[in-house]
Amino acid sequence: MPRARDRFTANISLLFRELPYLDRPRAARAAGFSAVESWWPFPGPTATTAELDEFLAALSAAEVRLDALNFYAGDMAAGERGVANDPSRQDELSANLEQVVAIAEATGCRKFNLLVGNIDPGLEASTRRATAARSVRAAAERVARFGGTVLVEALSRAANPHYPFATGIEVVAFLDTELSDSPNAKLLFDTFHLGANGVDLVPAATELADWIGHVQLADAPGRGAPGSGTLPIRETLAALDAGGYSGALAAEYEPAERTAEDLGWIDTLLGDDPEPS
């Protein structure tokens, strides 16, 4: 399946960081992106009305579509990677879910990434996993009312040693067992996180095709732009295409330079596709 440039979206939590956050949607549009995605853009699980209005106004003024949004994931700078598996923080996640829904209603966003949380030695593994499953199920049920999808991803072990999922197979095992009653809970296929963990991306893209709800692109090592590392990005995209994935391809990487000067990789990937392995 041929790819078009407008399938590529910009993650404005990583791209255009040389600019204030609210200026990044306009910068993404100027760089040729018609859609963006974002991590949760506020410091706490809920934002003020003024903060929400500023965020929505920045998207509207830039004339970009919000394609995907993360749920609140705790204090990311301090190493937290979600609160979904913490029984003591379900009120935070519930309040966040209502704001995610409000943003979805205002923007048309339909994909929502839910980091499940680090393993906590103070809680039994079965309690953590069951709590995470309940959290994902509740979010999936809520966003299913307007055709939304909840995404679950694996994270790189090196940077996230306490996160429970390192491979797509582990995520799918979670979705296929604890969440078999939530068909709109899907795998977020992130080439950096999977590739950094030693996953062979091309066969993984084929084997997991039915579970993939969203794709994010970065190379490894280094989490730079596609083509900056050693991962078989073009071959992986060909395998995704062959497996029927036709959704967005999100640029979620650490730019080597000013972002607008670091986008040549997109046109490189739009060259002749290799045969999928």
| Residues designated as active site | 153, 252
Number of Cβ within a 10 Å radius of residue 154: 25
Number of Cβ within a 10 Å radius of residue 242: 16
Rounded to whole angstroms, the Cα distance separating 47 from 66 reads: 17
Q: Are 34 and 67 in contact (CB under 8 A)?
A: no
Rounded to 5°, angle at Cα 81 from 80 and 87: 85
Report the run of H or E that residue 203 belongs to, with start and end: helix 201-207
- Find all residues with CB under 8 Å of 224, minimum gap 6, and list them: 218, 253, 254, 255, 256
Backbone angles phi, psi at 122, to 5 degrees: -80, -5
Residue 68 amino acid letter:
A
Q: Are 3 and 269 in contact (CB under 8 A)?
A: yes
Q: Are 160 and 80 in contact (CB under 8 A)?
A: no
Strand pairing class (149-153; 111-113): parallel
